[in-house]
Amino acid sequence: MADKKQKKQKQADEACKRTTIGGQALIEGLLMLGPKKQAIALRQPDGEIRLDVKERSAKSAGFNLPILRGVVRLVTQMKTGISALMFSAEAAMGEEEETGGKETALDRFADRHPNLVMGFTLFVSLGLSIALFILLPSALTDLIRRLTGFGLGETRGGSVFILSILEGLVRILLFLIYLWLTSRASEIRRVWMYHGAEHKTIACYEADLPLVVSNAREQSRLHPRCGTSFLFLVMLVSILTFSIVGRYTVWLNILIRLALLPLIAGVAYELIRYAGSRDNWLTRALSKPGLALQRLTTAEPDDSILEVAIEAMKAVIPDNPNDDNW
């Protein structure tokens, strides 16, 4: 009986495409990233879908090396994602100007210096993320350490391991609070709907179903290979890593965490890559916390949003299926 169940699971696993295509929700639209192309699909006020498709640059050598490819991919996709988000924001602002909005000096500066604005946005985004999810949990844990005297003067050992777990729990708590607060904003809920549509469309494609709204609607809005799941894995990997490294002075702890961040991100990427390309008890266990968090970062999309996601998806599907291999 067990052999039959395993055989059935293996056949289902092989039937699934396990695509490398991913995406990002934008303001009234979606960015889809395929092996060869990237596409931005935006819903315009007149109901039409605006589609912009570009060829993706050739992958560097770093894309082929485990762990390093995760760091390279993370930086590349952050840059691409912020650029796409700015593109969708500019499109939305352009529509407001056409309906009577006034162009400000800041708008004119952004038009003249798009690369500078994107660089500044990336710097601020990274800075805030590091401050909120790296520096603050570390500082709070060290404060608790000094106030209680627990593990004080120790660099390794059981108490340091407990402090590392505490720091990880503080980080996860801050992350949950952040997601809960952002999910309460009505504007963000629209973004979450596009996020859900991205997952449904990818799942529809992986199930080898025709990319139509009726098929996409039936898919789950949760997906194991998601940025939310990746961030949660980063937090889990950081707990183990920091417990091995040990604890020192406040500033040395912060410097060590910043230095190890690329390594942690690379390991987390390999884990989510593994979870996204296979289906077994281990990958399901790895995916479960991230899937639970996606209930905060996704929402059920309506048919008009699914149409946008499908257009973006169709534009990046490679002509050669071998280009979409893991």
Q: What is the pLDDT of residue 28?
A: 94
Residues 52-85: tens digit of each pLDDT: 999 987 665 556 788 998 888 888 888 899 889 8
Please list the helix, strand and coil fractions of the chain in percent, rounded to the nearest 5, in that order: 70, 5, 25
Write down the mean pLDDT value for the chain. Answer: 84
Question: In this model, does residue 104 exceed pLDDT 50?
Answer: yes
Q: Exposed/middle/buried for 313, CB within 10 Å: 0-12, 13-18, 19+?
A: buried
Residue 238 has pLDDT above 70, yes or no: yes
Return the axis-axis angle of helices 227-245 and 250-277, rounded to nearest 10°.
130
**Residue 261's pLDDT is what?**
92
Model confidence at 274: pLDDT above 60:
yes
Using pLDDT thresholds of 50, 70 and 90, give the confidence band for residue 321. Answer: confident
Q: pTM (2 decimals)? A: 0.84
Q: What is the pLDDT of residue 12?
A: 43
The more confidently predicted of residues 86 and 97 is: 86
Phi, psi of 38 (to 5 degrees): -130, 145
Pull the structure tokens for residue 253. 């702890």
Q: Is the pLDDT of residue 46 over 50?
A: yes
Q: What is the per-residue pLDDT across 157-200, written as a single tens digit (0 to 9) for each?
A: 678 888 888 999 999 999 999 888 888 888 889 999 999 999 99
Per-residue model confidence (pLDDT) at position 97: 53
**147-164 pLDDT per residue, tens:** 888 776 666 667 888 888
**What's the pLDDT score for residue 36?**
92
Q: What pLDDT was estimated at residue 16?
A: 65
Q: How confident is the model at residue 6 (pLDDT cuts 50, 70, 90)?
A: very low
Tokens for 103, please give them: 């162009």
- Which tokens in the block code for residue 259? 């230095």
- Residue 117's pLDDT is 64
- What mean pLDDT comes out for the span 224-232? 89
